[in-house]
Chains A and B, each alone.
Chain A
C-alpha cells in the first residue's frame, strides 16, 4: 500500500501546488517540495530491501472483467530512476523559485512539473504494460504543457507541438508493440512478460513488436533520425529543460530499453537496430553540438549525443556494456542537470545565451563558473569526475563487442571520434563563455546569482566529484541492484575504481582529449566548412510537412463535408442501407418457424388507411397543410394498431401525443411557408425514391423475419413480479416506474432538456409573420371564437378530473403519469387556443420551467429517498392501508415517482406549445422580404 503513495504523492502535490497562487513564492515552493521529499523518504525506506535483491509489488483490481490490474513494482532499476526523478525534481523545484520572474506564474509551472513527475514515477514503477503506456502518454502531454509554458512565444508553441507530435506518434507505435507482445505472452503483466524471453523471441511477430517498441523508445529519447524535436523543446524555461532533458523525459526511452532488455534483447535484430541507432545518434549529436551558438542548443545536442551513447551501450552484446549504460544514465543525469541550471543562471544574469556575446564571465561570476566548469569537465570525461568513469567503461566495451562481425573495429574508432567531439564542445562551453576576452553587447550587467539559486548546482557538482573519486562508496550498491534488475543472474562481476592502470581505453581517452582540444583550437576552419554546407532546418521541414498534411486533409474534408444536410442525410442513409441490407442476403430463409396468423377484415382496413395516409403525405408534401392532415391519419392508425395488438397504454400515449404533435405542427406552419417549392430535379427524385424504397423493403423484411420467429422474452420476470414486487397489476406501468425507473428518470430529463432548448431557441426570435394565408386571404378578425371559449372553459375541470383518474389508476390499469400529463397539457392548450395566452397569463401565472424542474427533482428524490432506508437507488415501497370512506387502498412510493413524471410532461409540453403560441399574440405585420 505504501508503494502506491509514491505516484499518489506527486499527483497530490500537483493539485496542491496549483492551489498556491495566493501564497508567497517561498511558501508555494516549500509546499510543492513537500510531496517529492516525502516520496523520497518512502523510497529510502524501501532501499535496503531492494538492495538485497527483493522486488516490492503492489496490486489492486482495475477492470476485473478484462483481468486488468493497477500494478506497481519497485526493483533496482525503478529505484535508481525514482531517486533521479524525485531527487532532481526536488532540486529543480527549488531552482525554479529563483529562475522564474515575478511575472510568470510559479504555481502553474509547479502544477505541470508535478504532473510530469507523476507520469515519470508511474512509468518506472508500472508492473502492467498498459498502465505503463498510459503514464507514457501522460509524460507526452505534461511535457507539452511544460514546453509551451511561455505560450505567448511562437517558438514555444511550435516546439511543444513538435515534441508532442513526435513523441505522441512514438507512443502509438509503443502501444501497438505492447499489445502485440502482450498478445504473444498472453498477459500484460510485466513480471510475466519479462520471464517469457524464449516465448517472445521464437514468435513470428517478434521483429514487428520489437521495432514498434523501439520506435516508441527512440522517439522519446530523441534518437537519430527523430532527434530534431529536442532542440526545439529548448524553448521551455530552463528548469524544465534541466528536468525533462537531463534526467527524465528523454531517459524514459532509455528506461524502456532497459526495462524490456530481459525480454527483447539478445537477438541480432536488437543488436543491429539499437547499436546502429545509438552510434549514429552519438556522432550526429556530438558533431552538431559543436556548431551551436546557443548555450542550450549546445546542451541539447550534447544530450542527444549522450543518449546515443547509452543506447549504443545497450545495443552491445556484452553484459558489462549494460552495466556501463546504467552507470552513464546516472552520470549524465547529474552533470547535465547541473549544466542546464548553470546555463539558466548565465541566461538569467546576463540576458542572453549566445556564446558569441558571452565572453569572460569568469570575472563576473567566478563561483558559478567554477561549478559549471566542473560539470562541463565531467561531460568531457576528465579524470576524477564521474563522466570519466562511465566513458572509460564505454571505451572498454566498444573493444569487446562483435556486433559488426569483421568490421567491429569501426565502433571503437567512431567512439573515440565522438569522444573527441565531446571534448571539443565541452571546451567551447568552458572557454567561450568564461574566458575568451570581454563580453559583447550584453543586455544586462552580469553578476553572481542569488545565493540559493546555486544550491542545487552545488549539490549536483558535489555528487559529480563524489562519484568520480569514490565510485565504490557512492554508487556501487544502486548500480549493482539496477544491473541485477536488468540482467538478472547474468550480471557480471566488475570493479568500480578510479584507476585501472595503463590500458587501451585510457589511450583512447587520451587520444580523444588531445584531438578534442585540437578540434576546438582549429574550430575556425570547421566553422567555415560547416557554413558552406546547405542548412537543413528541421523546423521548417516539419512545419511545412504539417502544413501540407493539414491542407490536404482540409481539402478532403471540405469535399466530403460540404455543409449540405441533404448530402449528409443521403450518405448516412446509404450506409445504413448497406449495413442493414447486406446480412439479409446471407440469411438462408426470411420466414421463421412461427405460423402466420390470418388477416382479418378490421386489420386490413386499418393497414390500408395507414398506407394510404403515408403515401398521401408524400404525394401532397408540397401542400403542407394537406400533408399534415394526412400524416395525422397515420398517427391515428398507429394508435389504433396499438389498441388492437394488446397495448392500451401505448394507444393512449400515442393518441394524446398525436393531438399535441399536430397542434404543434399547425402552429409551426403559421411561421413557415405554406407550400414547398419544386426544387428537386427528376433525377434526384428518382434517386430518393429508389433509396427510400430499398430501405423500406429491407426494414419490412427484417420486421417480417422478426415476427415469424418464436418469442424468447425476459418479460416473464416482470409479469411474475409486478404485483408482488412492484405492487401494481399494470405491468407496463410497473416497468416504467419501478423495474426500469432509472430509464424513465433519464427520459423525463431528456424531455425537460428539449423543452428548455426550445425555450432558448424562441428567445429574441425575429419573426416572419404572415398577414394572410397562402391564397392572400386575410385572417379572421375574430381571434378567439366565443363558442369555443365558453365550451373549453367548462370542459377544463372535467378534463382535469379525467387526467387525475388516469393518473391514479395507472399502477393497476392502463394510464399513468405520461398519459395523465399529456391529457392535462391538452386541456390547457385548448384554453390557450380558445382564449389566448394573455387571458391565461392573467388567471394562471405559472413558470413552466419551475414545473419541469420540480418534476425531475421529485422523481430524483424518490430515487434518492430509498438510500435513507439502506436500499439501492429508486427502490420502491408499497403497502395496503385502511382509509376511512375510501376502503382498503394501496399506497406506493412509485406514485410519487409517477407524479414527477406527470409534472415534467405537463411542464415540458405546455412550455413548448405555450411559448410558441405566445408569439402569435403579437400583432401580425407584413413579412419582411429578404
Chain B
C-alpha cells in the first residue's frame, strides 16, 4: 500500500507541476490546487498510514498520529485561501491586461478571446 500511496502523491505532484508551468492562469490555478492536494497527502503520510484508528479517545486501543492531521487541517483551509486569492488575481489580471497570460503582458495570440 505504501508504494501505491507514494505513487499517488508522485502523480499529483507531477501533474501539478506540469500545470503550473503552463502559460495561462487557469491551468496554473488548477496546478496549484493539485499541488496542495499532494502536499497535504505528503504531510499526512508523516503520521504513517493506519486504518480504523481515528484519534478520538475511547474509540480504539491505539490511535493514528493526531499531530500531522491537525497540521494538514489548517493547511487545507490555508490552501483554499491561497487558491481563492490566486484565482481572483487571475480574474483581475485578465480584466486589467486584456488577456490571461501569466507573464502579464499582451501576447501575440488573437485566438485567445472566445
A interface list, Cβ under 8 A from B: 563-566, 569-570, 573, 594, 596-600, 603-604, 607, 610-611, 614-615, 617-618, 621, 624, 627-628, 631, 634-635, 638, 641-642, 644-650, 653-654, 657, 660-661, 664-665, 668-669, 671-677, 679-680, 688-689, 691-693, 695-697, 699-701, 703-704, 706-708, 711, 713-715, 718-719, 722-723, 729-732, 735-736, 740, 743-744, 747, 750-751, 754-755, 757-758, 761-762, 765-768, 774, 812-814, 818, 905, 908-909, 912, 916, 927, 929-930
The SS class assigned to the B binding surface is helix
What's the Cα separation between A287 and B29 when bound, in Å?
69
What's the Cα separation between A648 and B14 when bound, in Å?
27
A819 (CB) vs chain B CBs: closest residue? B73
- Which of B49, B76, B80 contacts A650 (CB under 8 A)? B76
Q: Which residues of A contact B103 (CB under 8 A)?
A: 563-566
* A650–B112 touching, CB < 8 Å: no
B108 (CB) vs chain A CBs: closest residue? A679
Distance in Å from the Cβ of B27 to the closest Cβ of chain A? 5
Which residues of B (4-26) have their CB < 8 Å from a CB of A? Answer: 4-26
Which residues of B (23-72) have their CB < 8 Å from a CB of A? Answer: 23-27, 29-30, 33-34, 37-38, 40-42, 44-58, 63-67, 69-70, 72
| Contact (A664, B83) CB under 8 Å given A691-B21, A930-B98 | yes
Among B12, B25, B69, the one with the most A-chain Cβ atoms within 10 Å of its Cβ is B69
* A603–B112 touching, CB < 8 Å: no
Q: Which residues of B contact A732 (CB under 8 A)?
A: 55, 66, 69-70, 73
A648 (CB) vs chain B CBs: closest residue? B54
- Which of B29, B38, B65, B102 contacts A699 (CB under 8 A)? B38
- Which of A570, A599, A645, A699 contacts B42 (CB under 8 A)? A699
- Which of A715, A765, A767 contacts B65 (CB under 8 A)? A715
* B91–A672 touching, CB < 8 Å: yes
| Contact (A754, B69) CB under 8 Å given A596-B3, A743-B74 | no
* A672–B3 touching, CB < 8 Å: no
Q: Which residues of B contact A642 (CB under 8 A)?
A: 44
B70 (CB) vs chain A CBs: closest residue? A735
What's the Cα separation between A693 and B14 when bound, in Å?
5
* A621–B57 touching, CB < 8 Å: no
| Contact (A704, B2) CB under 8 Å given A747-B74, A766-B96 | yes
Q: Which residues of A contact B37 (CB under 8 A)?
A: 634-635, 638
What's the Cα separation between A611 and B7 when bound, in Å?
9
* B57–A751 touching, CB < 8 Å: no
The 9 closest A-B pairs by CB, nearest first: A700-B10, A696-B14, A930-B98, A704-B6, A754-B81, A692-B17, A729-B57, A646-B64, A731-B66
What's the Cα separation between A930 and B55 when bound, in Å?
56
Among A573, A638, A654, A774, the one with the most B-chain Cβ atoms within 10 Å of its Cβ is A638
A766 (CB) vs chain B CBs: closest residue? B95
Q: Which residues of A contact B80 (CB under 8 A)?
A: 657, 660-661, 909
* B15–A719 touching, CB < 8 Å: no
Q: Which residues of B contact A603 (CB under 8 A)?
A: 1, 4
Q: Which residues of A contact B56 (CB under 8 A)?
A: 648, 729-731, 812-814
| Contact (A646, B113) CB under 8 Å given A621-B22, A665-B87 | no
* B114–A674 touching, CB < 8 Å: yes
What's the Cα separation between A653 and B80 when bound, in Å?
11
| Contact (A680, B22) CB under 8 Å given A661-B33, A692-B15 | yes
What's the Cα separation between A615 and B96 when bound, in Å?
32
* B76–A657 touching, CB < 8 Å: yes
* A706–B85 touching, CB < 8 Å: no
- Which of B7, B92, B105 contacts A765 (CB under 8 A)? B92
* A631–B34 touching, CB < 8 Å: yes
Q: Which residues of B contact A736 (CB under 8 A)?
A: 70, 73-74
Distance in Å from the Cβ of A811 to the closest Cβ of chain B? 11
- Which of B78, B94, B112 contacts A671 (CB under 8 A)? B94
**Sample of 16 A–B contacts (CB below 8 Å):** A611-B8, A614-B12, A615-B15, A644-B51, A645-B49, A645-B64, A650-B73, A668-B90, A671-B91, A671-B94, A679-B107, A730-B57, A743-B74, A751-B77, A751-B81, A818-B73
Q: Which residues of B contact A650 (CB under 8 A)?
A: 44, 69, 72-73, 76
- Which of A615, A744, A747, A905 contacts B11 (CB under 8 A)? A615
* A647–B88 touching, CB < 8 Å: no
What's the Cα separation between A618 and B16 when bound, in Å?
8
- Which of A627, A628, A647, A677 contacts B109 (CB under 8 A)? A677
What's the Cα separation between A337 and B112 when bound, in Å?
72
* A646–B26 touching, CB < 8 Å: no
| Contact (A673, B19) CB under 8 Å given A631-B34, A699-B13 | no
Distance in Å from the Cβ of B53 to the closest Cβ of chain A? 5
Q: How large is the interface on B (under 10, 10 to 19, 20 to 34, 35 or more residues)?
A: 35 or more
* A723–B27 touching, CB < 8 Å: no
What's the Cα separation between A558 and B41 when bound, in Å?
38
Distance in Å from the Cβ of B111 to the closest Cβ of chain A? 5
* B112–A677 touching, CB < 8 Å: yes
* B19–A621 touching, CB < 8 Å: yes
Q: Which residues of A contact B1 (CB under 8 A)?
A: 596-600, 603
* B112–A673 touching, CB < 8 Å: yes
| Contact (A672, B100) CB under 8 Å given A688-B21, A703-B6, A718-B66 | yes
Among B52, B55, B64, the one with the most A-chain Cβ atoms within 10 Å of its Cβ is B55
Q: Which residues of B contact A814 (CB under 8 A)?
A: 54, 56
Among A621, A812, A908, the one with the most B-chain Cβ atoms within 10 Å of its Cβ is A621
| Contact (A765, B47) CB under 8 Å given A657-B77, A723-B57 | no
* A638–B41 touching, CB < 8 Å: yes
Q: Which residues of B contact A611 (CB under 8 A)?
A: 7-8, 11
A643 (CB) vs chain B CBs: closest residue? B54
Q: Which residues of A contact B54 (CB under 8 A)?
A: 646-648, 814
* A646–B51 touching, CB < 8 Å: yes
Distance in Å from the Cβ of B97 to the closest Cβ of chain A? 9
* B113–A929 touching, CB < 8 Å: yes
Give 5 new A-B contacts, CB below 8 A, not counting A707-B2, A768-B94: A668-B91, A680-B22, A696-B11, A711-B48, A729-B56
* A566–B66 touching, CB < 8 Å: no
Q: Which residues of A contact B25 (CB under 8 A)?
A: 672
Q: Which residues of A contact B40 (CB under 8 A)?
A: 638, 654
Distance in Å from the Cβ of A360 to the closest Cβ of chain B? 68
* A704–B3 touching, CB < 8 Å: yes
Q: Which residues of B contact A714 (CB under 8 A)?
A: 67
* A700–B111 touching, CB < 8 Å: no
- Which of A570, A607, A713 contacts B4 (CB under 8 A)? A607
Among B18, B26, B66, B78, the one with the most A-chain Cβ atoms within 10 Å of its Cβ is B66
What's the Cα separation between A743 and B23 when bound, in Å?
35
* B109–A653 touching, CB < 8 Å: no
Q: Which residues of B contact A719 (CB under 8 A)?
A: 55, 57, 63, 66
* A692–B74 touching, CB < 8 Å: no
| Contact (A689, B85) CB under 8 Å given A699-B10, A703-B10, A765-B91 | no
What's the Cα separation between A766 and B16 when bound, in Å?
30
What's the Cα separation between A735 and B70 when bound, in Å?
7
Q: Which residues of B contact A927 (CB under 8 A)?
A: 113
Distance in Å from the Cβ of B44 to the closest Cβ of chain A? 7
Q: Which residues of B contact A713 (CB under 8 A)?
A: 47, 65, 67
Q: Which residues of A contact B79 (CB under 8 A)?
A: 657
- Which of B42, B69, B78 contacts A647 (CB under 8 A)? B69
* B95–A607 touching, CB < 8 Å: no
Q: Which residues of A contact B76 (CB under 8 A)?
A: 650, 653-654, 657
Distance in Å from the Cβ of B81 to the closest Cβ of chain A? 4
Q: Which residues of B contact A929 (CB under 8 A)?
A: 113
What's the Cα separation between A569 and B66 when bound, in Å?
34
B27 (CB) vs chain A CBs: closest residue? A621
Among A615, A631, A812, A930, the one with the most B-chain Cβ atoms within 10 Å of its Cβ is A631
What's the Cα separation between A689 and B64 when bound, in Å?
36
B52 (CB) vs chain A CBs: closest residue? A646
Distance in Å from the Cβ of A167 to the closest Cβ of chain B? 41
What's the Cα separation between A761 and B55 when bound, in Å?
40
Q: Which residues of B contact A614 (CB under 8 A)?
A: 11-12, 15, 34
